[in-house]
Structure formats: structure tokens, C-alpha cells
Structure 1
């Protein structure tokens, strides 16, 4: 059975956030970074229907995206992880058994290399981890 005491979630203490500006910087003052490039920003802004937000609301949106860009991930390499301090790994209960009593079903030979590359890429970016 899992260790229930190890499954307790610690409360996350959030810092006091500064208030939002009533007059945010204009879009023309936006300075692109490695994570939030102008192309990526334009891609997000294109999803807003015409006339849905006032120009000052769009400027505020850009300000929030710029100040909180660590929360954005456009690729697997930019993706973050939950801290195990606050979110412990889940322990799955198992039944004692003898593994692999039957041989595994073979993958078609033509698929081995693409699957191997995909698994290595996922291990590198942290999607998969050693068991």
C-alpha cells in the first residue's frame, strides 16, 4: 500500500503580487525575449476577436504576459515541473508477481528507430523518467 503520509500536499505560499498598472506600457514598448518573442506574441494576439478587447486592455494583457512569461511554454524544453516539495510523487500500490511471464509483443522493425528517437527526446525533456 502507498505511504499515505508521503502523499500529503504542502500548501503553496503565494507571494503578494504588485497591483496591475492602470496605464500599462503600449504595445510599441514591448521588448521581445527568448521565451516571449514578437512572433509568439503576435500569434497569441491573433486569437483575440476583432473588437473584443479595447486597445488598453490588450496593452494590459501584453504587460501581464511579459511580467509572467516564465509561466508560458511554447516548446517541451521551456516546460517546467511541479516541485516535489509541494507535489510528492504518487506511489502506486502493486501486487507481488513475477514480471514478464510472457514475452512482450514485438514492435514492427520499421517503427523501432522513430519510437526510440521519440522516447529519447521525451526522456531529455523530462516527459519520461527512469522507473
Structure 2
């Protein structure tokens, strides 16, 4: 039997509010959990793992909700392709599955590359500002010693 978790436990485990978890469920980022006879949501370890991946995509990559929805769709598509690929025995069929998969993975990489480029530009701007601040401090420290 799969272990089930109440929303309080999930919220504590992943660091989200119960409201956010319900919202993610409402907009399709998280599949709806089964409910107990009393109507209490009962989540699985898979729900928790998915929420952790969403949080990583949001925090590390800075994905918006719309981008998270796209990320979930692509991740599900990749998983479906992976399952289908494993069931194939003919090399030609496997190659065809990989050819279908290639643009999906390429698109994900391009999305991440764009985010990284923006992050690097921002880092460079802040690094430049930090260097100027340090130079100003050094210049003022020299003047104080005179």
C-alpha cells in the first residue's frame, strides 16, 4: 500500500503553504490527490517529488506560473516518450521515438539557456556595480589617510 500524506504534512515537507498546494492543483501543476471518505486530500510521495521539482524550476530557473505549466507539460511528454521507448523492441521504432523526442528536449534546453543568459547579464551588472562600490570605498579610505 502506498503511503498517503495529508496536506499539512506535504506543506511542511516541501515548504509551501497549503493554499499554494491547492492552487497548483487547481491550475494543473499538480494532479489531484485521492480523497478520504471524509474528503481529506491524501497525497503520495510522487506528489511530493513533483512539488519539489516545481519548486526547483521556480526558484533555480525563475520560471513563472505559465512557464511552470509548460515545464510540467513537457516533463509529462518526456515521461510518456520514455515509457513508450522502453516498450519498443524494433530499432527503427526506437529511432523514430528518439526523433520525436529530440525537439522536445532541445526546446527545454533552449528555455534554460535563455534563463541562464539573463541571469549572467544580471550577475555581470551587479558585479560591475559591486566593483565600483569597492573602488569608491578604497578611494575614500586613501583620502582619509592623507
Q: Give me the TM-score of the superposition, normalised by structure 2.
A: 0.27
* Greater relative contact order (CA < 8 Å, ≥ 6 in sequence): 1
